[in-house]
Amino acid sequence: MTDMTMPSRAVPSSEDIETAARAALARRKRLVVGLRVGILVAVLAGWEISTRLEWIDPFFFASPSGIFSQIAIWITDGTSQGPLWEQVLVTLEETVLGFLIGAVGGVACGILLGRNKLLADVFSIYIKIANSVPRVVLGSIFIIAFGLGMASKVALAVVMVFFVVFANAFQGVREADRAMIANAQILGASPVQITRTVIIPSAMSWILASLHVSFGFALVGAVVGEFLGAKKGIGLLISTAQGAFNANGVFAAMIILAVVALVVEFAITWVENHLVRWKPTPFHEQT
């Protein structure tokens, strides 16, 4: 005879279950963070040890300690082209300017063509052609046309950003819900009101998604522009280090770029979360 009820053990209260669930969640979080740190330490230590034991040549492949001391020197003594913060600021300025101009232009053109079928049909072929040109090549033209200063880098960043944002804005406008537009129309909205209150908000999640990707492109545009010819900037820092066979310098500049990109990415995510408050929280964030 089996007795399924177990009077000796009390049924756990919902408070107990919640406490247990919270504890399990915290444990898991600690595990993930621990593993992440562990992997980082293992890779850096492996790299450092291999260079110390000369399994790989630190002259070509740099070493974590070398990279670290290079960054330290740049911070304390400045770089060969002036203080480090100045280089970061110049690259950041080019990137942000290019990003803003490209994004605004992309959104404006995307909405215009998305709303106007004739314009879309006429211009789609040219946009396809322009999009298929490897845009980094335009950098050379821009250096010739705008010189070694900031303008050529901004121009390159703009073309890198524009097409990505444009394509997303255009698609977002096209995907706007037909019933929603008809609803606004019957409620009394004019075409301008429809664009402002229905089309742009519904394209917004597409546009924001593209901004994430395209900021990275803007940074690539600015840095490649500096490679090709510049007086200041992190790109120039990299090409100078490359010219001097300074592998530590190349990696150090790369890390600085990565930090800059991460900080800005964080800022964009923050803005995005504020702009699309109305969206249901994705499941994986509901923990």
Partner 1 sequence: MPLLTPSRDVQRPAAAGAAAPAIELVNVSRRFVTPEGKAMTALRDFDMVVGQGEFACVVGPTGCGKSTTLNLVTGLARPSAGEVRVMGQPVGGVDPGVGFVFQTDALFPWRSVLDNVAAGPLYRGVPRKEAYEKARDWIARVHLAKFEQHYPHQLSGGMRKRVALAQTFINEPKILLMDEPFSALDVQTRTLMQDELLALWSGTGASVVFVTHDLEEAVALADKVYVLTAGPATVKTVFNVDLPRPRVMSEIRYDQHFVEVCKVIWDALREEVQIGQQRTMDSGH
44 vs 181, beta carbon nearer partner 1: 181
Tell me the backbone φ, ψ of residue 176, rounded to 5 degrees: -55, 135
Shortest separation between residue 68's beta carbon and partner 1, angstroms: 47
Largest CA distance in the chain: 92
Pick the piece of the chain touching partner 1 (CB under 8 A) from 163-171, 230-238, 246-254, 271-279: 271-279
Work out the number of other CB atoms within 10 angstroms of the CB of residue 36. Answer: 10
* Binding pattern for the stretch 196-225 against partner 1, x by CB under 8 A and - elsewhere: -xx--xx-x---------------------
CA distances to 20, 103, 154, 211 from 95, in Å: 48, 12, 7, 13
Q: Which of 60, 126, 266, 278 binds partner 1 (CB under 8 A)?
A: 278
Shortest separation between residue 106's beta carbon and partner 1, angstroms: 21
7 vs 188, beta carbon nearer partner 1: 188
Does 183 bind partner 1 (CB under 8 A)? Our answer is yes
77 vs 177, beta carbon nearer partner 1: 177
Does 171 bind partner 1 (CB under 8 A)? Our answer is no
Does 188 bind partner 1 (CB under 8 A)? Our answer is yes
Contact present, 224 and 238 (Cβ < 8 Å)? no
Contact present, 217 and 161 (Cβ < 8 Å)? yes
Pure H helices in 57-174? 58-61, 64-77, 84-115, 117-132, 138-146, 150-174
Work out the burial of residue 151: count CB atoms within 10 Å of its CB; fewer than 13 is exposed, 13-18 middle, 19 or more buried. Answer: middle
60 vs 278, beta carbon nearer partner 1: 278
Q: Which of 184, 209, 260, 261 binds partner 1 (CB under 8 A)?
A: 184
Contact present, 234 and 257 (Cβ < 8 Å)? yes
CA distances to 93, 103, 158, 166, 229 from 100, in Å: 11, 5, 8, 13, 23
Q: Which of 182, 244, 258, 259 binds partner 1 (CB under 8 A)?
A: 182
Helix, strand or coil, per DSSP, at residue 79? strand
Contact present, 213 and 102 (Cβ < 8 Å)? no
6 vs 192, beta carbon nearer partner 1: 192
Does 282 bind partner 1 (CB under 8 A)? Our answer is no
Smallest CA-to-CA distance from 133 within 151, 115, 112, 156 is with: 156
Shortest separation between residue 176's beta carbon and partner 1, angstroms: 11
Shortest separation between residue 188's beta carbon and partner 1, angstroms: 4
Does 279 bind partner 1 (CB under 8 A)? Our answer is yes
Q: Which of 50, 140, 193, 242 binds partner 1 (CB under 8 A)?
A: 193
Work out the number of other CB atoms within 10 angstroms of the CB of residue 285. Answer: 6
Q: Which of 280, 282, 285, 286 binds partner 1 (CB under 8 A)?
A: 280
Residues in binding contact with partner 1, number by CB under 8 A: 23
Does 52 bind partner 1 (CB under 8 A)? Our answer is no
Smallest CA-to-CA distance from 102 within 33, 157, 47 is with: 157
Q: Which residue ranges make up the site for partner 1 (CB under 8 A)?
A: 177, 179-180, 182-190, 193, 197-198, 201-202, 204, 276-280
